[in-house]
Amino acid sequence: MVDDLVRPVSKRLFFLLLIVTVGSELALFLSRYSSFFTEIYDAIMIVSIFVAWKLHPRLAGPTGRKAAGTLKDALGFTTDMPDSKHKFWNRGYASQFAAAFLLFYMGSAVVNFYSTILFPGFNDQYEEYVEESVEAVNGEWNQVGEEEGLIEPGATNSLIDWFEFEGYDFYTSALAGFEEVYRLGYIILILMLFKKILPNRWSKWPKDVFLMAALFISSLLFGVGHALDTPQPWEVTIGTVVTFTNLGLFLGILLLWSRNLWLLIAVHGVYDIVITFEWYYFEYASLLFSGLLLTVWIMETAVRKIGADSGTEMNIGE
């Protein structure tokens, strides 16, 4: 895998990697001073879509999609079949998505549980942010504005308000999935840096040592990135960095284990969308969605198992 990731890159791709990684960090930091840079950050995430087309083959490698293993077989990550080799979609993708999402959901639950205990300031600030967002959507801010004479009565529009708050949050949640391109970009750049400045150790040490170091550094940068956009007390900043570093580590492990960039983009984006839905509409949305995915995974796994057993019996009969 490491050899595939550090293959030479063109100057154009290298420039795009710098924009997606360092550029996004800079845009996040500057967004605390001007909302203009928030739009720049969103634009970088959109650009990441095109970078993903270049990076996914590096991650998958010549054997990435067919890499086997007992646990991967059980979770549905080795579902490529001869008759579906050239298809855009097969049912195995649903199983892969369900397995990856459920693993991340359980990991995030553990991280959030310990963050609540260790960093109460971060947890309080997060809950306050959610409450303010819900109040804004429910029209409470507009009502106060009208009472204070800051907004003319009837000057607001509920549909426009929806796009202003909920709609924008769903939009940014979908774009958040492309932070996985940012992560893989960092991993590739860090591995290339290791190879350049540590040539002797690169040739002697196991490549997995460098890969794990790059994974940890990229996860740490993922955590730092989530603390850049808003000035906060140190307690909240540390809680933000530690919490999102751990979440980033879970996502990074899934990324390298599955060797499927598009899968992790989908998992990250859908997770953020479900959590946003949970903020605004239904408190148990993520739990119900996870239960639905678990049902899908069980059904698809059962069908795959029955199909495999039928094929075995047919071969024995022959």
Rounded mean pLDDT, 32-46: 92
> Other C-beta atoms within 10 Å of 296: how many?
16
pLDDT, residue 304, reads 74
More confident site: 309 or 213: 213
User: What is the largest distance, in Å, between two alpha-carbon atoms of the chain?
Assistant: 84
Mean pLDDT confidence for 272-280: 91
What's the pLDDT tens digit per position in 146-177?
444 545 555 555 677 777 778 888 999 999 99
State yes or no: pLDDT of 69 exceeds 60: no
Q: How far is CA 28 from CA 50, 67, 222, in A?
A: 21, 36, 11
What are 123-153's pLDDT values in tens digits? 777 777 667 666 665 555 455 444 445 455 5
Measured CA distances, 187 to 75, 242, 270 (Å): 25, 19, 23
Spatial CB neighbours of 108, under 8 Å, sequence gap ≥ 6: 247, 250, 271
Q: Which residue has the higher pLDDT, 138 or 281?
A: 281
Cβ atoms of 33 and 87 closer than 8 Å: no
Q: How far apart are CA 304 and CA 318, in angstroms?
A: 21
With 90 as the cut, is the pLDDT of residue 93 above it? no
In this structure, are residues 223 and 244 in contact, taking their beta carbons and an 8 Å threshold?
yes
Distance CA 252, CA 301 (A): 25
| Confidence at residue 95, expressed as pLDDT on a 0 to 100 scale | 84
| Mean pLDDT on 179-203 | 94
Q: Which residue has the higher pLDDT, 78 or 250?
A: 250
* 199-224 pLDDT per residue, tens: 999 999 999 999 999 999 999 999 99
Q: How far is CA 317 from CA 28, 230, 304, 312, in A?
A: 63, 67, 20, 9
pLDDT in tens, 225-257: 888 887 888 888 898 899 999 999 999 999 999
Structure tokens at 98: 């369900």
> Where are the chain's structural domains?
2-79+92-312
What amino acid is encoded at 66 in this protein?
Answer: K
User: Measuring CA to CA, how many Å separate 233 from each of 40, 65, 122, 223?
Assistant: 26, 44, 9, 16
Kindly state the average pLDDT of the residues 101-109.
95
Q: What's the chain's average pLDDT?
A: 82
Residue 315 confidence (pLDDT): 44
Q: Which of 63-67, 134-138, 183-187 has the lowest mean pLDDT?
A: 63-67
Share of the chain above pLDDT 70, in %: 77
What does the pLDDT read at residue 217? 96
Q: d(Cα 10, Cα 29) in Å, to the nearest integer? A: 28
Q: What are phi and psi of 194, to 5 degrees?
A: -60, -45
- Taking the C-alpha atoms of residue 42 and residue 229, their distance in angstroms, rounded to an integer, is 13
pLDDT for res 222: 92
Percent residues over pLDDT 90 in the chain:
52
**Contact at 8 Å (CB) between 44 and 15?**
no
**What band does 317 get if pLDDT is binned at 50, 70 and 90?**
very low
Higher pLDDT, 63 or 208: 208
Kindly indicate the confidence band of residue 316, based on its pLDDT and cuts at 50, 70 and 90: very low
Task: Name residue, tokens 């293993």.
Answer: 69
Tell me what the mean pLDDT of segment 36-40 comes to.
93
What pTM, to 2 d.p., does this model score? 0.83
